[in-house]
Amino acid sequence: MLTVYGCANTRSSRVLWALEEAGTEYQYVAVDLRAGAGWKPEYLVLNPGGKVPTLVDGETVLTESAAICTYIGDRFPASRLTPPVGSPERARYDQWCYFVLSELEQPLWTLAKHLFALPERRRVPAVLDTARWEFAVAAKVLAAGLGRREFILGDHFTAADILIAHTLAWALGFELPLEQDHLKTYAERLLARPAWARVQEREQAESGKP
């Protein structure tokens, strides 16, 4: 059985979402980042950055949320979370995954770091306004790419939608407006999926465990 190491309301939620959509059983190990569990030597063996998520599948140990979601899609092809390797669809899938990580997510991460994640002496309030503007620019590109499609690749849900929707939820949590109505509707539609609700239930249940 696959094991995912994660912490509620972090990028590991993306991995749980992919697993839920794939309909496979998995073990969830809660890593209490706030209590420093990411820096325990036994966890650093799995994830030298001390971060979540980490996925363990037999001998295979993976870090990086997008790579893990793609792995899950390929490992469970019936889920159709990833298009076939080598197809034009796969190239577009990769394109949007990389866009999320390098363009859409980065300004949000900058906001998070300089609002609360970094030690206070490392925070630079002057970057906040630029980060908000950069997010708006990236969201505009995404909205144009989405157009009137139901999902980012067309009429079929993939793990790229998971990465995008999770990142847009993050933005909404920061009270950043999604200025394009169809982008907002897309985010709301994806975040209403039963698999996403199950992720939150599972995270809550597991983080309450002793």
Residues 7-36 within binding reach of ligand GSH (CB under 6 A): 10-11, 33
Out of 8, 52, 153, 165, point to the residue binding ligand GSH (CB under 6 A): 52
Q: Does 38 sit near ligand GSH (CB under 6 A)?
A: yes
User: Minimum CB separation from ligand GSH for residue 11, in Å?
Assistant: 4
Contacts for 117 with CB less than 8 Å, ≥ 6 apart: none
Torsion-angle region of 123 (φ positive above 0: left; ψ -120 to 50: alpha; else: beta): beta
Residue closer to ligand GSH, measured from CB, 63 or 180: 63
First to last CA, the chain: 22
Tokens found for residue 194: 């039963």
Shortest distance, position 100 Cβ to ligand GSH, whole Å: 9
x/- mask, ligand GSH, residues 144-163, rule CB under 6 A, reads --------------------
Closest CA to 151 of 140, 139, 164: 164
Q: Write out the DSSP string of 164-182.
A: HHHHHHHHHHTT----SHH
Q: Is 57 helix (H, G, I), strand (E, B) or coil?
A: strand
Positions in 57-86 near ligand GSH (CB under 6 A): 64-65
Cβ 147 to ligand GSH shortest distance, Å = 26
> Which residues would be at the binding site for ligand GSH (CB under 6 A)?
10-11, 33, 38, 50-53, 64-65
